[in-house]
Amino acid sequence: MASRKRESFRWRTPVEIGLIAAVIYVLLGAPGLPTWIWPDSTPVHEASPRAKIESLVYPSEGLQCPKHTYDVHVFSATPLIIYIDGFLSDEEAHHLVDMSATKWQTSTVFNKGVESTDESVRKSEKALIDRDQTVQCIEQRALAFQGWPAETFIERLWTQRYNVSGHYAHHYDWATTSKTSRRSSTFMVYLSAECTGGGTQFPRISRPDESKWCQFVECDGETEGVTFKPRAGSAVFWNNFDADGRGYKETIHAGMPVTSGTKIGLNIWSWYQAGHVPE
């Protein structure tokens, strides 16, 4: 009897120490664990509460666009993620940067429909782009790339400028998960990338082994997931939803902080709006 008591005492102590240590670790915020371990505690911030119908556009009928080619590199089939080298020409990229020059305003975030600035979440400036022929040709290119999906429109284009320490914390682009209305896909286009840092990071997607990807993704260092490098004119395209309308959790992503110079990006969001007729 006495020896059994001593044995249970000997074993209980390390277990108790372990439990207390685990509680302290969690109270400290579980340092060292990747941020995607708990999906529900991952901060999710929306670029907009939902696209307003008036911000949905469609390229004009009879639009004449110059021939343009780009190189497609399929990164992942599910979710579909494609790196597009040369999605925009140098002239198009410069034109969008020039058009933004007089329009920069501080970027905002939405939380339960309330718009505010929060530099811990998003630090950048944005500019709403007028829809001239060049811009409509880019809208058309984005829809053609996806095979002209039915009842799918482009949200008015915005450029984004990130100076040193500019960033956008992890978020989904989903905007809503409604069956009839949602942001179906994203092109993250880099217009100007005279910077260090500023990559687009997907913590739940692993970095490919093949070294051919190192021209497009960060291959140095021990970063979480995969980080696409900003390269002027190129774009990362991905679908935000599967065919049944379920948001892909893998598409959570962040704009990493710019550490020197300036990055200018362009969001091209496609919006599925059942029953909407373009003007």
Ligand X SMILES: *[C@@H]1O[C@H](CO)[C@@H](O)[C@H](O)[C@H]1NC(C)=O
Give the x/- contact pattern for ligand X in 228-267, rule: CB under 6 A. Answer: ----------------------------------x-----
> Rule CB under 6 A: is residue 125 a binding residue for ligand X?
yes
**Among 174, 169, 127, CA closest to 255:** 169
Nearer to ligand X, 55 or 262 (CB): 262
- Site residues for ligand X, 35-74, by CB under 6 A, read none
Looking up tokens 């034109």 gives: 95
Residue with Cβ nearer ligand X (84 or 109): 109
| Residues sharing a CB contact under 8 Å with residue 155, sequence separation 6 or more, in sequence order | 51, 55, 56, 57, 183, 267, 269, 270, 271
We find the least distance from the C-beta atom of residue 101 to ligand X, in angstroms, to be 9
Closest approach of ligand X to the CB of residue 231, in Å = 19
Cα 85 to Cα 66: distance, rounded to the nearest angstrom:
18
User: Are residues 152 and 55 in contact, defined by beta-carbon separation less than 8 angstroms?
Assistant: no
In the region spanning residues 198 to 227, those forming contacts with ligand X, defined by CB under 6 A, are none
255: Cβ contacts below 8 Å, ≥ 6 apart: 124, 160, 162, 166, 167, 168, 198, 200, 201, 265
Considering the complex, state which of residue 262 and residue 267 has its C-beta at the smaller distance from ligand X.
262
In whole angstroms, how close is the CB of 168 to ligand X at the nearest point?
A: 14
- The residues binding ligand X (CB under 6 A) are 125, 163, 262
